[in-house]
Structure 1
Amino acid sequence: MNLEYFPGAADQRTLILFHGTNGTTEEMIDFGKRLSPKSPLLAVGTDHQTSMGTQYFAQTWTEQPDATEIERALNELVAELKSITIAHQTLAEAVGVGYSNGASFLLGGIYAQVLPFHRHLLFHPLPVPTSAAETLLTDRVWLSHGQREPHPTMAQFHMMVSSLWERKADVTSLISGGSHMIAPAEVNAAVQWLSN
């Protein structure tokens, strides 16, 4: 994994950013500036190649990803983040932000309870295998979905939301009128969520 850092104010939460399929750290730094202009930003990129392109783990529109693939990528991420301190904050204070494959990656980390941070913005995640038992009482999760995107289906999105609720996470969800692209209304809602 490769990291790109953009400094920000020490009194603002760090955003840790994860791109979608074939995305870049530069794109996510720019997106992070839209969400929280004063925050320190850490974009986590990957060079891992799959049949779909560059992804944190192999994921297609319609097939359930392999849990061992997600575990491999999460182990790599946790090792990468272990010794990082940003703007004198521990990563427990940070917010994870992911889009598409990056959002699914964070969702897998939430279920596995291996991430050092417990606030998450997930833009258009696709389903990942769920863990059996863990309660998520310390996790705040915001998720978005486009009404017109074919994958995941609306039913699958509602199942992701319900799965987090059942594990006692603090969940906020938003359905935009668009497709798999991030709509302006989603950005506005995410900015509002970050301010609370």
Structure 2
Amino acid sequence: MSARSRRTLGVPTFPLPISGQFMPAILLIIVGLGLLIFKNLTQKVKQAQDLVVKEGTFINYSFKKTPEGERDYGIWLKEFAERFELSGQEEANFDTAAFRSAIKPGDRLRVEYSNREDVLENGGVRKLYGLTAPAKNLTFFLGKDLVAKENSGVLAYSIYGFLALGILLYIWQLYKAQRQRNAYED
């Protein structure tokens, strides 16, 4: 007795089985997609084009340590009511002595910050992504570099790893199921 042929409408159909043997692959894909959604919902700046670049007149700075021993670096500009605070990564690499010797009150500074941050929610503080002094040709750090650092890292690599591993495992299970089916039919 011959097997009945499948009817298709010109579109190849691929069976997408969801059984116990495919469950680890499906779980890896779900974890990867969950991490991707989490990252997209919690990330304030996704690319360098999301940053606002403005210039202001330097008034004051604060390079001190908190009672817990953490750095608390910030600057104030005349045109802005809020304080610009350096991030943890930039605080560790920031040369305060070079800043103090090169920049004096009244100098013009160019800052890069995210417009998505709510200043009232953050207590009048904005995260500083880029800091330059264009008149003196000084660049302390750039926003595109900091955004690139934030977008890479363990979370980004784990997202791609979970997705790739899940997809490869799913394809391997499909291949194994097809081989078993062919062996059974022979």
With structure 1 as the length reference, what TM-score do the two structures score?
0.17
From the CA coordinates, give the structure whose radius of gyration is larger.
2
With structure 2 as the length reference, what TM-score do the two structures score?
0.18
